[in-house]
């Protein structure tokens, strides 16, 4: 077996350290059958993770407690259960500030409980990875799939990536650490999958061997001082600008917020490399009917493309967005050239992805953007629902019984 490193280095767990490119693209892979949560565990196992903090809200609990098993086995350095998502996201921030590679998970109401922490993560420039298994937000009480919460997260200053399936999620978690920890990026990454549809469903997934792992995180490459008393502290003696009511204090805060957004922009070339592009295109590239989607909605749209072609003779294609922050602006604009109709199928009632798509295509594309179909609150989105939405537009009779 070849590695990208000349000398053999081992991480604390005794795994051979290989380059991210080797782990992601070159290492031989074998086929396994597992849930999305188990895929999280397999990714963490190969990611030289230093610390993880957990909280048992469903459906993230399986992933979070599986990371606990890795801690027992020595693959994760620090692991414990926190008191709430607010506490957990603060504890994981402490871990990251002290120089650890960190990962945690949450979903739905837990995301909202934790919310105050996300802009704080971004503002302190810690590359925490949050695996978000999207589900409904209360009330009424729901534990079902729904990605409304992702719409809330868009402007927290965190990168947001969206995995379609367990395979995507596995690869994205590994790539997420690599991209988020680049010194010129160094902001948190939220890797999203749809709860239950991916987290609780078993599917085939190709995994590299588990005796190799990502290079360990080097906190001393961080753009901010590590809080470990091993490096000089960031020091603002005399007249510190923090918390002062004067213009330079406001300007400092404002420019720092711009800097966090700029850091996300600077992640583009890295994400493009490690994710093999910020979008994925599926179907006949000449089709005038385009589905722009992410996650499970993209998977179902692909199925709808097949149905439309086979049963209705309509050509369609899918543009799957892998990153939402940064938003693949140029990629999307290129991909929808020649499109007449753009459907944005989504798992929420508000259509946050439709808003994003409209925003970035405004004045650029002549295509008609149609925000739908939308399902929410735990509803599934059978391909037939998407087909029906298209047929309504073309005036064709709907043959499928739903």
Partner 1 sequence: MSFKIYEINEELLDVMPQEIRDLQFKATWGNPKRGVMDLPYSKELIEEHSLCAGCPESMALRYILASLPNPEDTIIVNSTGCTSLVFPHIALHTVHSLFGNQNAVASGIKRVLEWRFPDKVKDVVVLAGDGATVDIGLDCTLQSFFRQEKITTICFDNEVYANTGGQESGLTVKGHVFKMAPKGKQWDKVPFWQIAIDSGCHYVARLTVSSPKRVETVIKKAIYVAREVGPTYVHLYTPCILEIGLNSDDGLDEMRQRDKERFAFFEYMTPQAEEVINRKKEEGLL
> CA angle at residue 333 from 269 to 135, to 5 degrees?
75
Minimum CB–partner distance for residue 276 and partner 1 (Å):
33
> CA angle at residue 356 from 350 to 358, to 5 degrees?
100
* Cross-strand bridge partners of residue 81: 54
Minimum CB–partner distance for residue 243 and partner 1 (Å):
6
* Cross-strand bridge partners of residue 319: 281, 292
72 belongs to the binding site for partner 1 (CB under 8 A):
no
What are the C-alpha distances in Å from 260 to residues 63, 121, 210, 250, 270? 29, 10, 34, 16, 16
235 belongs to the binding site for partner 1 (CB under 8 A):
yes
Minimum CB–partner distance for residue 246 and partner 1 (Å):
12
Minimum CB–partner distance for residue 75 and partner 1 (Å):
13
Query: Toward partner 1, which CB reaches closer, 92 or 178?
Result: 92
Query: Toward partner 1, which CB reaches closer, 115 or 341?
Result: 115
Question: What Rg do the C-alpha atoms of the chain give, in angstroms?
Answer: 22
68 belongs to the binding site for partner 1 (CB under 8 A):
no
Minimum CB–partner distance for residue 45 and partner 1 (Å):
18
Tokens representing residue 7 in the block:
């000398």
Contact set for partner 1, span 16-55 (CB under 8 A): 50-51, 53
277 belongs to the binding site for partner 1 (CB under 8 A):
no
Minimum CB–partner distance for residue 134 and partner 1 (Å):
24
E strands along 99-220, which residues? 102-106, 129-134, 159-162, 189-194, 203-207, 212-213
120 belongs to the binding site for partner 1 (CB under 8 A):
yes
* Cross-strand bridge partners of residue 318: 282, 291
Q: How many residues bind partner 1 (CB under 8 A)?
A: 42
Which of 30, 140, 236, 362 touches partner 1 by CB under 8 A? 236
**What's CA 349's distance to the chain center, in Å?**
20
The span from the CA of 154 to the CA of 152, in Å, is 6
Site track for partner 1 across 83-102, x = CB under 8 A: xx-xxx-xxxxxxxxxxx--
Query: Toward partner 1, which CB reaches closer, 55 or 327?
Result: 55
Buried/exposed code over 9-42 (b: 16+ C-beta within 10 A; e: otherwise): eebebebebbbbebbbeebeeeebebbbbbbbbb
Minimum CB–partner distance for residue 47 and partner 1 (Å):
16
143 belongs to the binding site for partner 1 (CB under 8 A):
no
Query: Toward partner 1, which CB reaches closer, 126 or 264?
Result: 126
Query: Toward partner 1, which CB reaches closer, 17 or 163?
Result: 17
112 belongs to the binding site for partner 1 (CB under 8 A):
no
The span from the CA of 230 to the CA of 237, in Å, is 19
124 belongs to the binding site for partner 1 (CB under 8 A):
yes
Q: Judging by DSSP bridges, how do beta strands 289-293 and 279-283 pair with one another?
A: unpaired
The span from the CA of 162 to the CA of 171, in Å, is 11
Query: Does residue 342 contact residue 349 with C-beta atoms inside 8 Å?
Result: no
SS3 state of residue 182: coil
Query: Does residue 286 contact residue 297 with C-beta atoms inside 8 Å?
Result: no
Only segment of 31-39, 149-157, 191-199, 222-230 that touches partner 1 (CB under 8 A)? 222-230
245 belongs to the binding site for partner 1 (CB under 8 A):
no
What are the C-alpha distances in Å from 261 to residues 122, 138, 158, 179, 201? 9, 30, 8, 15, 34
377 belongs to the binding site for partner 1 (CB under 8 A):
no
Minimum CB–partner distance for residue 258 and partner 1 (Å):
21
Q: Which positions touch partner 1 (CB under 8 A)? A: 50-51, 53, 77-78, 80, 82-84, 86-88, 90-100, 116-117, 120, 124, 225, 227-233, 235-238, 240, 242-243
């Amino acid at each position: 077996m070849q590695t990208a490193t000349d000398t053999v280095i081992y991480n604390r767990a005794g795994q051979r350290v290989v380059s991210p490119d080797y782990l992601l693209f070159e290492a031989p892979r074998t086929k396994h059958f597992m849930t999305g949560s188990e895929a999280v565990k397999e990714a963490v196992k190969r990611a030289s993770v230093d610390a993880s903090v957990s909280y048992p809200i469903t459906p993230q609990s399986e992933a979070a407690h599986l990371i606990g098993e890795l801690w027992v086995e020595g693959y994760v350095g620090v692991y414990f259960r926190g008191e709430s998502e607010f506490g957990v996201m603060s504890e994981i921030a402490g871990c990251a500030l002290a120089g650890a590679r960190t990962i945690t998970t949450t979903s739905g109401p837990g995301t909202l409980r934790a919310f105050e922490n996300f802009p704080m993560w971004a503002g302190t420039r810690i590359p925490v990875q949050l695996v978000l298994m999207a589900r409904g937000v209360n009330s009424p009480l729901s534990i079902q799939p729904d990605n409304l919460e992702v719409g809330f997260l868009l402007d927290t200053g965190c990168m947001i990536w969206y995995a379609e399936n367990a395979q995507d999620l596995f690869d994205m978690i590994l790539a997420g650490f690599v991209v988020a920890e680049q010194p010129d990026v160094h902001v948190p990454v939220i890797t999203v999958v749809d709860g239950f549809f991916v987290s609780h469903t078993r599917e085939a997934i190709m995994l590299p061997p588990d005796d190799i792992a990502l290079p360990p995180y080097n906190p001393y490459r961080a753009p901010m001082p590590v809080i470990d008393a091993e490096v000089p502290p960031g020091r603002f003696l005399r007249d510190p600008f923090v918390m002062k009511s004067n213009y330079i204090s406001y300007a400092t805060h404002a420019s720092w917020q711009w800097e966090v957004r700029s850091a996300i922009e600077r992640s583009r070339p890295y994400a493009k490399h490690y994710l093999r592009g910020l979008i994925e295109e599926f179907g006949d590239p000449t089709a005038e009917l385009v589905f722009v989607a992410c996650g499970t909605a993209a998977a179902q749209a692909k199925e709808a493309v097949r149905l439309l072609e086979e049963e209705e003779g309509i050509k369609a294609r899918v543009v799957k967005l892998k990153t939402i922050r940064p938003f693949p602006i140029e990629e999307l604009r290129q991909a929808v050239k020649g499109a007449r109709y753009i459907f944005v199928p989504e798992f929420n009632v508000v259509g946050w992805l439709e808003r994003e798509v409209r925003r970035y295509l405004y004045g650029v594309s002549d295509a008609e953007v149609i925000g739908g179909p939308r399902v929410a609150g735990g509803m599934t989105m059978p391909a037939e629902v998407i087909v029906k939405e298209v047929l309504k537009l073309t005036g064709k009779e709907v043959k499928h019984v739903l």
